[in-house]
Structures are given as structure tokens and as C-alpha cells.
Structure 1
Amino acid sequence: MDMEKIYLVSDLPGYTPQIGRLLSMMNYARHTTLEAVKGLTMNDLDYLLDANSNSIGGLLLHIAAIEFAYQVGTFEKRELTEEELSIWGPALHLGEQGRLHIKGHDLSYYITRMNEVRTRTYELFQTVDDDWLTPEVQFWYNKQANYYFMWFHVFEDEINHRGQIRIIRKRIES
């Protein structure tokens, strides 16, 4: 992530123009997420506002899980396998399963998982061009969507959860 260009939605070397711009938006979203969790302890990452909430650690792993699921769905054109669901399922669905299984990790664990998934995203996006973004496929609620929208949703979901993370962090610090 080039911090000198973090506020530019622009072309990125090695990618076609629209893909580079999409990645530059994803990079900014990730930068702000990482800033929101800087310095958090394991206890902070495991903190629950109440019995039905998600932890910051759970939300961070959810961000990685969503990106992984969209890699599989858009590049491999398949659903997650049972093995993949055993790894990512609690993070995808959060709630009770997330609270039960996602805890006891330090911040570097979550950042490493997010970085591993993002590295694969970079690699996968080098294999396609701008035309790949536009074909329409069946998506939510029997509506058409294209891969451009789906990947917009990946970072839009991250931005949403970053907001939750900021609220939780304020509650921890008060």
C-alpha cells in the first residue's frame, strides 16, 4: 500500500485501469480499518458490548472471510467447500459461532489473516482485465449484479464494520 498515494483513486501498476482504481479504494478502506484497531490488546479484541454483540476480533476476521468468500465466488465461480466453511464459517456468520470460536488472538493474528487474503486478492486481480468486472450474473434477491458491484461490496462491508469497530473501541476506552 503506497501511503503517499492513499487518498488517490487511480491506476495501480500491474493492473488494468478499473481494477487498479477498485484496489486503490480497497486499500484506503483497509488503511482506515487498521488505523481504527492500532494498539488494541487481546482483551480489547475479545470485548463484547453485550451477550449478542460481535467482538472487534470477530469483525476483523469477518472482513477477511468476506473477501475470501468473494475470491472463491468470483474468481473460482463456486461456493465454499465444507473444509473452507470449517475455517471461515464462524467469521462469515459471526453471532453465537463467532463469539464461541473467535477469541484469544492478538492483533497481529487478525492483521496477518487479513493480509494473507488481501495478497491473494492482489494476485487474482492481476489475472483479469476491466472487462471481467462487467458481465452480469444472478445475485441477491434474484437480481443481476456484476463483479464490479460484488467487489465494491467487499470494501463497503469492511467500511460498515470499521464503523462498528470504532463504536466498540470508544466503549472500551470510556
Structure 2
Amino acid sequence: MDQIYLITDIQGYTPEVGRLLSMMNYARYTTLEAAKNLTTEQLDYLMDPEGNSIGALLLHFAAVEFAYQLETFEKRDLNEEEMLIWGPALDLGEKGRQAIRGNDLTYYVNKLNEVRTKTYELFKTVDDDWLHLEEPFWYGKQANHYFMWFHVFEDEINHRGQIRLIKKKMNTQL
């Protein structure tokens, strides 16, 4: 994190993989800053009955990253056992509102770190050519691994906006 504002090579990774990780690291840094010091009550807060909590969004980031590890490295979807663990966080909605609550910030940060550590390990096994491999993706379109992993942190950045909005709303109501 010493070079958080640099999109640069990272020792132990090929150049483009390292730069991708640099972007992912910055996105995660800003997410953790947005969630810093939140209490369990704040992590569980819902702006409206159909909304997502900050805690659910944090676990969603870990779930999406886990799902893309499986998709891009193992070429498979989550199995039944993995869906029991990650399904509510992937899908959010009512399942997420029911299942994801009562956890402190350390719980979510640990889940995020656990999944990211695995991503670091997996990325050491591939090179820049791997990022450019194309496969069928959404809606019958082709996508490469670069795009798929861009989407992992693009989704996090998008939902981080929700976290900031929830915090503003929460500060006026709690």
C-alpha cells in the first residue's frame, strides 16, 4: 500500500497483471476508507426495506471476487456448498438482508482479505497473455480475463458509491 496512487508493476507479477492488481488495490483501499470505524449497527443499517446494508455490500465484494476466481481459474460456477456460503452476498436482495447482519467490521475486512490473498496467489500463476484470453461471457459476447477482473473492481467501485450514500443518509437518521 506504499504506492497506492501508482498504477505500476508489482514484484512477483507480470507487468499487466501487476498493474491490474494496482487498480484493484486502490479500489479496495478506498472501500476500506469508506467503511472505516463503522459499528455493527451502522454496517446493518438499511436506508429502505428493499436496500442493501453496508455490511452486505462489503461481503458482496468478497463474493464477487471469489466467484471470478472460480470462473477464470477453475472454469466453473459456485457449487451448492459454496452457494450456501456466498449466495446471499452474491444475490443480495432479501436473502442478503436476512443472512448478512450482526457482524462487526473486522468480520468483513477478514473476508475481503481472505479472498484477496487467494487472488494474489492465483495471479502469480498467470502471465499477461492469460489476461487477454477470450471466453464466452455475458449475453453470448466474448470477454477476456482482463475485462472480467476489471469488472470485479468496477463492481466494487460502483457499490462503494452506495456505501457513501448510505453513510450520508445514516448520519442524518441515527
TM score, norm. by length of structure 1 = 0.98
What amino acid sits opposite 1:57 in the alignment? G
Residue 109 (structure 1) aligns with: 107
Residue 164 (structure 1) aligns with: 162
Structure 2 residue 49 is the aligned partner of structure 1 residue 40: no
* Superposed displacement of residue 135, structure 1: 1.4
Q: How far apart, CA to CA, are the structure 1 residues paired with 2:59 and 2:27?
A: 15
Residue 84 (structure 1) aligns with: 82
Unaligned regions of 5+ residues in structure 1, if any? none
* Superposed displacement of residue 78, structure 1: 0.7
Q: How far apart, CA to CA, are the structure 2 residues paired with 1:79 and 1:151?
A: 16
Residue 69 (structure 1) aligns with: 67
Structure 2 residue 24 is the aligned partner of structure 1 residue 26: yes
Q: How far apart, CA to CA, are the structure 2 residues paired with 1:170 and 1:7?
A: 26
* Superposed displacement of residue 129, structure 1: 0.5
Match of 2:130 among 119, 129, 132: 132
Residue 146 (structure 1) aligns with: 144
What amino acid sits opposite 2:161 in the alignment? G
Aligned identity (percent) is 69
Q: How far apart, CA to CA, are the structure 1 residues paired with 2:125 and 2:39?
A: 38
* Superposed displacement of residue 173, structure 1: 1.0
Q: How far apart, CA to CA, are the structure 1 residues paired with 2:77 and 2:52?
A: 25
SS in 1 for 2:49: coil
SS in 2 for 1:8: coil
What amino acid sits opposite 2:98 in the alignment? L
Unaligned regions of 5+ residues in structure 2, if any? none
Task: Give the root-mean-square deviation of aligned CA atoms.
Answer: 0.5
Runs of 4+ in 1 over 6 A off after TM superposition: none
Q: How far apart, CA to CA, are the structure 1 residues paired with 2:35 and 2:135?
A: 35
Aligned residues: 172
* Superposed displacement of residue 52, structure 1: 0.2
Match of 2:117 among 112, 116, 119: 119
Residue 57 (structure 2) aligns with: 59
What amino acid sits opposite 1:44 in the alignment? Q
What amino acid sits opposite 1:110 in the alignment? Y
